[in-house]
Chains A and B, each alone.
Chain A
Amino acid sequence: MARLGVDGEPGLTDSAVRLRLLEALVSRADLAECAQAGLQWLHETLGIPRSLCLVRPVADPSLMVVGAYGVKGAASFSLSLDDWNNPLVTAIVERRPMFFAAPHSPADRKRRPATPFEDAPFHLQPLGLTGFSQEPFGALMLAADAPVRANLQWFSTVLGQKLDQILRQDALSEGDRRQGRERGLLYSIINAVSDPILLTDTEGRLLIANSRALMLFTATEEESEGRRSAVSMNNMLLSSALSSKAMEETGAARRELLLVNPIDGSDLVFELLSTITEDPRHGSGVVSILRNVTDLRRASEEIEENYRKMRMAEAQARAESDRLNLIIDSVADPIVVTDAAGATSLMNDPAERLFTIPRNASAIEQRWVQANDAHFSSFIAGMLVSADRRRVGEIGLLDARTGEPMPVEAIAGKILSDHGELTAVVTILHDRREALEKTRLYEQLKQASDELERKIQAATADIAQQNELLRRQAIELEQASALKSQFLANMSHEFRTPLNAMLGYTSMLLQGVAGPVDGPIKRQLSRIESNGRHLLTIINEILDISRIEAGRMPLQMSRFNVPELVGEVKAELEPIILRSKLSITVDVPKDMSPLWSDRQKVKQILLNLLSNALKFTHQGSVTVSARPNPRERVLELAVTDTGIGVALVDQEKIFEDFRQLDNTPTRPYGGTGLGLSICRRLAQMLDGRISVRSELGKGSTFSLILPTKGRK
């Protein structure tokens, strides 16, 4: 914003301040009133405390005071324009502002012209328009400590014109006076116009300018360098514009003129309207009106820019729309765009297949499409009347090619304009057949899976139950087995006690404790004794099996000499051997290493095997042998006989409990049938085994095979 106060007059803007003066002057027609208003404006605007206004009345050679502000006794003051020695007069005639400082000496005081300001410093400003060829006709005297610059040039011009006009009016005839008034009015009008208005002569010299134009084209020497050069450039630009050929030809022209704002140096764009006026008195001139189009030009540039942008946007929108169409067509799901009235405005290909009757369609095919159309229309109608922005529904359509039912999921959305008006409804239809089929299959699968799971659970439960049952049975069996063993052990004990007494008394009788016995009595007592012993053997063997099965026959391992053991066995059976008259051979290496095993159990097995051999052999021989087999780390103790033998088919049976091959009541061989069964159990306890090689009628070999690796 341009400020006028060069020496610091903040707050006053060009137009506001000037407008106040113009207002004050326009409403007045009296010379003194106008002068007074002007001086008051000076005081208010520039802070001039005291001032005088002098003018030269028409046809009078002296200047008279027409207005005074803050100066007493000024009315009598006058200046004769003929007094060339008065520096005041010289300045006024030469239209040169002048400052009169306070006199610094009496001599200086004498040289100073007499004024109502006396010794106070003051500034003299001639009245009148700069650049206008007019007679000097007035001046302002302002009390000031320094030359006053701001606004003064403009003020003196405006006030000068006004006062001059009043003076002339006074001097003119009635008609002239009216003309003068009109002219004054005209000045006021052109000054009030915000566009610069100029009148120039044919040479381009400035004749009349309104205040806007003055600002652009005039500058005093006191004004800044920048402003002055801006003004001279503006004058140059204007002259060249006015002198152009085009103007001469047409007489009136409208062209663009680029000027510089002298106040801030910014570019100003004007539209120059110039008209040549023919004035018979002063010759032809050119009236120019400059219209500031700086903003207009900017606006138009903006409009052009906007237009360009719009074109681009339009092109973009078209491309977008093409792309959208492409997308819509490439979507497999039918898409339908409906306008606010419910009419279809756009469909992609899949939608067309549903809703458009194909060429050469049969009557039934047409009906399918019509049915689809009806269903869809009803859905859209529902959508249009509802307040929902979005709606999802199911429509039972028909496949337009096959006529099979085609349930679709319809997803519709309303498109609203910026003002909330419904512009379109976009509906996407999704074929549900596949999804429904998948759901159905999934359900089936789930059912099958559930069924399977149920079956598995049932089977698992069944198995668990069976397992539990088996477990209980196993426990029960174990308990039963333990009970049986315990029972047998107890039974054998209970058997023994009475048997003990029976055998004891029989023995005593046979020994003749109660007197000598002989003949049949002795024979009968012997039968009692032998049967009693047999019974005892059976009880002992049952007891052995019970102990083995009850796990109550612990091993008592030791290292012992095998030949010695064989000797003991043979010795124990010596009475039977003697009775049998068989040849007994012992074939045991004397130097064999001791055996690590349960001596008692090995002995029991050998006793059994040897007594069996003796029992079932009627003639021939029995051999007891020991064969160490270092390679297999076993020792084979064998009893070989030439007895009745065992058929191959029976070789397994003989190891079963209570088993004798001849089961008749009158069998010729004694024994419990438990012997081999016990032997086999004992051999297993010793990590060994019993084997048999035999041929019916030719003899047998029973072997006890024991490990030799044990070293504990």
Chain B
Amino acid sequence: MSNKPDHETETKPDRPRVLLVDDYPDAREMYTEYLEFSGFEVVEAENGMEALQRAVDAAPDIILMDLSLPVMDGWEATRRLKADSRTATIPVVALTGHALAGISEGAKKAGCDAFVTKPCLPEDLVKEIRRVLDSTANKKARRSGKYAKTIG
């Protein structure tokens, strides 16, 4: 991490916190590395059950949720997050290698705010995260009657 000084110094106090849920370690590591490189704070979880716990503990700004997970899958975890008042407002971006029709539908039904198909290049994923965060911030701003600070 020593070779990315610009991002760290610049955005450290306001680094949005991302909860990354994925059971494939290489993917988790890759996204974590790039997200931190891109100015995010990353909290990881390996399955749905762990994700629920981390979401409460770490109170992330956004959750990246792989759908095919052991112990508890992404759909179920998302449903539970959206059902819990502590986590209901956190946007969830579904992330899956399954491109078959019906998957995104199921994900939206479970409460996902966005849907990204793997393989997804790190920069594309970051673009999507920023888009969702902006959209959420705008909504919050509209609700609270003032403009929230734009992230990134």
Other-chain contact of B34, A493, A496, A508, A552 (Cβ < 8 Å):
A508
Is the CB–CB distance between A497 and B97 below 8 Å?
A: yes
CA A494 to CA B119, docked complex, whole Å: 11
Asked if A503 meets B121 with Cβ closer than 8 Å, knowing A508-B30, A513-B37, A540-B99, the reply is yes
| Per-residue interface assignment for chain A, residues 480 to 504, with 1 indicating a CB less than 8 Å from any chain B CB and 0 otherwise | 0000000001001110111111011
Contact A500 B120, beta carbon cutoff 8 Å: yes
A497-B24, A499-B119, A513-B4 are known contacts. Are A504 and B99 too (CB-CB below 8 A)? no
By the criterion CB–CB under 8 Å, are B33 and A508 in contact?
yes
Asked if A284 is an interface residue, CB under 8 A from chain B, the answer is no
Complexed CA–CA distance, A148 and B41 (Å):
177
Q: How far is the CA of A365 from the CA of B118 in the complex (A)?
A: 113
Interface string of B98-132 (1 = CB under 8 A from A): 11111000000000000000111111000000000
Interface residue B88 (Cβ < 8 Å from any Cβ of A): no
A499 CA to B3 CA, complexed, in Å = 26
Q: Which residues of A contact B37 (CB under 8 A)?
A: 508, 513
The residue in A493, A494, A553, A554 that gathers the most chain B C-beta atoms within 10 A of its C-beta is A493
Q: Are B3 and A493 in touch, CB under 8 angstroms?
A: no
Query: Knowing A508-B37, A513-B33 touch, does A497 contact B99 (C-beta < 8 A)?
Result: no
* Residue from the list B34, B97, B101 in contact with A504, Cβ < 8 A: B34
Q: Who on chain A is nearest to B3 by CB?
A: A515
For A497, give the chain B residue with the smallest CB separation.
Answer: B97
Please report whether the interface of chain A is mostly helix, strand, loop or mixed according to DSSP.
helix
Known: A514-B3, A515-B3. A504 touches B24 (CB 8 A): no
Interface residue ranges of B28-51 to A (CB < 8 Å): 30-31, 33-34, 37
Tell me the minimal C-beta distance from B8 to chain A in angstroms. 13
Q: From known contacts A504-B30, A504-B31, infer whether A493 and B121 are also in contact, taking CB-CB under 8 Å.
A: no
When distances are taken between beta carbons in the complex, the residues of chain A under 8 Å from B24 are 497, 501
Interface: A129 (CB within 8 A): no
Interface size on A, residues (CB 8 A): 26
Is A505's CB within 8 Å of the partner chain B?
yes
Main secondary structure of the interface of B (DSSP, over half): loop
Residue from B26, B33, B97, B102 within 8 A of A493 (CB atoms): B97
The verdict on A536 contacting chain B, using a C-beta distance below 8 Å, is: yes
A507 at the interface (CB under 8 A from B): yes
The answer on a CB contact under 8 Å between A492 and B99 is yes
CB distance from B65 to the nearest CB of A (A): 15
Q: Report the minimal beta-carbon distance from A82 to chain B, rounded to whole angstroms.
A: 175
A504 to B34, CA, bound (A): 9
Q: How far is the CA of A493 from the CA of B67 in the complex (A)?
A: 12
Decide yes or no: A500 and B27 within 8 Å by CB, A507-B121, A508-B33, A514-B3 being known contacts. yes
Contact B30 A505 (CB under 8 A): yes
Bound form: Cα–Cα A703–B123 in Å: 36
Return the chain A residue nearest B66 by Cβ.
A497
Contact among B101, B102, B119, B123 with A496 in the assembled complex (CB-CB below 8 Å): B119
Query: Given the complex of chains A and B, what is the CA–CA distance between A503 and B102 in angstroms?
Result: 26
Q: Are A552 and B33 closer than 8 Å at their CB atoms?
A: no
CB distance from B25 to the nearest CB of A (A): 10
Is B26 a contact of A501 with CB atoms below 8 Å? yes
Given the known interface contacts A496-B97, A513-B34, the answer about A504 and B122 at a Cβ–Cβ threshold of 8 Å is yes
**Can you report 30 A-B residue pairs in the complex whose CB atoms are below 8 A from each other?**
A493-B98, A496-B97, A496-B99, A496-B118, A497-B27, A497-B118, A498-B26, A500-B27, A500-B119, A501-B24, A501-B30, A503-B119, A503-B121, A504-B34, A504-B119, A504-B122, A505-B30, A507-B121, A507-B123, A508-B30, A508-B37, A511-B123, A513-B37, A514-B3, A543-B99, A543-B100, A547-B100, A547-B101, A552-B100, A552-B101
A residues sitting closer than 8 Å to B (CB atoms) are: 489, 492-494, 496-501, 503-505, 507-508, 511, 513-515, 536, 540, 543, 547, 552-554
The 10 closest A-B pairs by CB, nearest first: A500-B119, A496-B97, A501-B26, A504-B30, A493-B97, A500-B118, A513-B37, A507-B121, A504-B122, A499-B119
Question: In the complex, given contacts A511-B123, A513-B3, A552-B100, what are 12 additional A-B residue pairs having Cβ atoms less than 8 angstroms apart?
Answer: A489-B100, A493-B97, A497-B24, A497-B27, A500-B97, A500-B118, A504-B119, A507-B122, A508-B34, A513-B33, A515-B3, A552-B101
